[in-house]
Amino acid sequence: MTSRSCALLIGVLAVTGVAVAWADAADAVAGRYEVKYEEVTTNCENTGITLTRGVFEIEKRKAQTVAVDIERIPLMTGSAAKGGRVKATSKLGPTSIQGLNGRFSVAGTVNDDGVLQMVLVAEYYLNNRPYCTQSWNVSGVRAGAAPTPKARKTADEDAGRDDAMAVPSASSTGSDAGSERVWSERVRWLPPVE
């Protein structure tokens, strides 16, 4: 075997190894996560969205490419890298806030134990000009195959909750026999910009 053939073989093996590592990175972060949102910053006045809890899904597409799906937010696409790092962005498009377009992005990590730590940023545009920005810290854990049911709250504990703003998850519809009524996400939409 000549030195040129040897170099070519080593190059092919190196590229194959990198592709496998990238694929493994996407596989390692793919899954469904039960998360909570903590708003960090906002310069939006009288508009924006409020996120408290929800489902955060990361789906492997090809090699290191992933799609991040958050309810009521446009699909974000990006990449996964070793160390569980994820970065994804949506295209600029209409939002549920009348008159505003938005671009959403997320960046952060998922560790080996399935703990997700991300930052979600929403950039809003009015007439193709930047209008305002919101950001949240997102933290949660990979949803297990059989999540443990949460204890029901008593009427006294639940008295302060605003059910009109709560959105039930698919698991809260009672479709599973004996399932608990669990709210997975609470979203409050503020009035549209005029």
CB-CB contact of 177 with 147 (8 Å): no
* Mean pLDDT in residue range 108-129: 94
Q: What per-residue confidence (pLDDT) applies to 35?
A: 95
CB-CB contact of 65 with 79 (8 Å): yes
pLDDT band at residue 90, thresholds of 50, 70 and 90?
very high
Mind listing the domains of the chain with CATH numbers?
3-144 (2.40.128)
- Look up residue 32 and give its amino acid: R
The whole-model pTM stands at: 0.64
Question: DSSP of the chain, one letter per residue?
Answer: --HHHHHHHHHHHHHHHHHHHHHHHHHHH-EEEEEEEEEEEE--SS--EEE-EEEEEEEE-STTEEEEEETTS--EEEEEEGGGEEEEEPPSEE-SSTT-EEEEEEEEEE-TT-EEEEEEEEEEEETTEEEEEEEEEEEEEEPPSSPPPPPPPPHHHHTT--GGGEE--GGGGS-STT------EEEEEPPPP-
* Mean pLDDT in residue range 130-139: 96
* Mean pLDDT in residue range 177-188: 38
Q: What is the pLDDT of residues 144-161, one digit of tens each?
A: 733 444 444 444 444 444
Q: What per-residue confidence (pLDDT) applies to 26?
A: 85
Report strand pairing: 31-42 vs 129-142. antiparallel
Residue 35 to residues 14, 120, 130, Cα–Cα distance (Å):
37, 12, 28
